[in-house]
Amino acid sequence: MFSIFTAACVAQFKPSSPSMADVQDDRKELEDFTRPPKWIPFPTTITFRLFEVLKLFDAETTGKGDTDTHPSDLYRFEKSLQLWDAIVVRSCWELETDFLNLLKELHNKPVIPTGQLPPVAFAYNNEDDHDHDEASWKPIKKWLDKQETGTVVYVAFGSEANPSPEEVKEIALGLELSGLPFFWVLRSTIDQLPDGFEDRTKGRGVVWKSWAPQVKILAHDSVGGFSSHGGWSSVVEAITFQRPIILLTFLADQGWNARILEERKMGYVIPRNENDGSFSRDSVAESVRLVVMEEAGQVYRENVKKMKGVFGDQERQDRYIDEFLSFLITNKNILLSRKPIG
């Protein structure tokens, strides 16, 4: 089983080890998912906030058991953990020592981290004239080149997150209030921007209305922070290029990812209402200024710098892949002898 989720996320699911057969998942109400499960033996804040749970679960997805017409994702994931011979996780020992060791205990099977699978060198070579995204990159690079080093807030929430009209408005006005230059990739709900916003921020900010080469943008020296949804691929890219993260989660595992970054002081979560997830333009402005410019945000910048030495070390990350391949070769006879599951 290859999990695109981190070890901390996988550890949220019920253990499958025979030695833990008596351990029951006592999380029955949605509010129960705002605290760590009882099989995590050490202190952690990696859990959902209430508004994240409310977005994630509905009547169908709380169902459990083989007889469900549409078993929940939670049930399906837990069943997978029981059936597979090994768990492969997009993670590294330097980031998640405790959780990687815990997974071995919870499931009584090999746990192999693949490293963080960072973007490879050719993907962010700004001088590569043959790159397929050159037409998009040239005007973006031209604008970024005019900005001061480490001052630009890059804003992108992935392809699946869809901020509501009210959220788009508050993000926009927050960026305006911050006074910082920004590059915002907003491929939908353009008509929901506040009246006059683009005119008032012309020159200082860009609202980019199509696909953008995120890795190249993050690699540019003018970028000082990344306002992100917390998808792990985006997190890896940000840390690879030493960009602290201002987090605004929307769905799936993003809440867990945000807590991981919060615990390690590499990302700052924009303050939100616990029940409905709403936030204000003031909280957006204060958050981006804190992380990118203010002395109080230095801890985030420093910690991301330290972890860049892990995420951005290609040789170190390649060794994780080599170890994974070695595991597959060593165990190929066992793995090939298994009957298909289905």
Q: Which CATH number fits domain 122-311: 1.10.3210.10, 3.40.50.2300, 3.40.50.2000, 3.30.300.30?
A: 3.40.50.2000
Which positions ≥6 away from 280 have C-beta within 8 Å?
Answer: 170, 174
pTM of the model: 0.89
Give rounded-to-5 percent helix, strand, coil for the chain.
45, 10, 45
Distance CA 11, CA 51 (A): 21
Q: What is the strand order of the sheet 182-185 is part of?
A: 205-208, 182-185, 152-156, 223-228, 245-247, 267-269
H or E element at residue 95: helix 93-107
Token readout for 95 is: 């980031």
- Is residue 208 classed as helix, strand or coil in its secondary structure? strand
Distance CA 144, CA 217 (A): 8
Q: Measured at the alpha carbon of residue 237, what is the angle toward residues 234 and 124, in degrees to the nearest 5?
A: 125
User: Where in the chain are the domains?
Assistant: 2-115+313-337, 122-311
- Phi and psi (nearest 5°) for 283? -65, -35
| Tally of residues, the chain | 342
Tokens 């999380």 belong to residue: 27
Distance CA 137, CA 130 (A): 12
Per-residue pLDDT of the chain (342 residues; tens, 9 = 90+): 899 999 999 999 999 998 888 888 888 888 999 999 999 999 999 999 999 998 887 534 444 444 456 777 778 888 888 888 899 999 999 999 999 999 999 999 999 999 999 987 445 554 554 455 678 899 999 999 999 999 999 999 987 788 889 999 999 999 999 999 999 999 765 568 999 999 999 999 999 998 899 999 999 999 999 999 999 999 999 999 999 999 999 988 999 999 999 999 999 999 999 999 999 999 999 999 999 999 999 999 999 999 999 999 999 999 999 999 999 999 887 666 666 655
